[in-house]
Amino acid sequence: MKILVASDHGGFELKNKIFNYLKEEGFEAEDMGAAVYDKDDDYPEIMIPVAMRVVSDPENTRAIILGKSGNGEAMLVNRFPGIRAAVYHGGNLEIVRLSREHNDSNVLSLAGGFLSEEEAMEVVKIWISTPFSNEERHVRRNEMMDNIE
């Protein structure tokens, strides 16, 4: 499983820490940018290539994306068929677990402006380690989402 990591300025520092953690833990991780901090960058320019990569190999690729709130980034990538991005901005960690177990989320969008490094790392660990349940009802619902025309 390849894990792409990307952020605009709103989650830049946290993105680098998550990327380094993934590499240290032996994950096949790829930093998709931003490569340098730029307070005026535009997240669509960074997130569109990420979404395209996940869509091109959904069985083997997931992504962790960050922005200040994580909302705009998730809204953008969720426009791509086959992307199921979940947003986490703090609170109950069960939400992250359910995004994998029930929805088979393949993108995790984090609110870099609202999460501590410790909380973000815990979320990443849960998201990576939680498998999709493969329950028939969840498979059926995900297929419905993925096949909207």
Q: Specify the CATH number for the domain of residue 73.
A: 3.40.1400.10
Total residue length of the chain: 149
Burial 23-48 (b: 16+ CB within 10 A, else e): eeeebebbbbbbeeeeeebebeebbe
| pLDDT at position 148 over 70 | yes
Range of the domain at 10: 2-146
More confident residue, 134 or 42: 42
The long-range contacts involving 35-38, CB below 8 angstroms and separated by at least 24 positions, are 37/9, 37/12, 37/13, 38/9
The reported pLDDT for the residue numbered 149 is 66
For residue 7, pLDDT over 90 is answered with: yes
The whole-number average pLDDT for the span 106-129 is 97
Q: Which amino acid is at 57?
A: D
- Report the number of distinct structural domains present in the chain: 1
DSSP 35-72: SS--TT--HHHHHHHHHHHHHHSTTTEEEEEEESSSHH
pLDDT band at 137 (very low <50, low <70, confident <90, very high): confident
**Positions marked active-site:** 73, 102
The pLDDT assigned to 51 comes to 98
At residue 119, does pLDDT exceed 80?
yes
Place of tokens 């994998």: 100
Higher pLDDT, 44 or 134: 44
CA dihedral 82, 69, 34, 98 (to 10 degrees): -40
Q: Which residues contact 122 (CB under 8 A, 6 or more apart)?
A: 93
pLDDT digits (tens, 9 = 90+) for 51-96: 999 999 999 999 999 999 999 999 999 999 999 999 999 999 999 9
Q: What pTM value is reported for the model?
A: 0.95
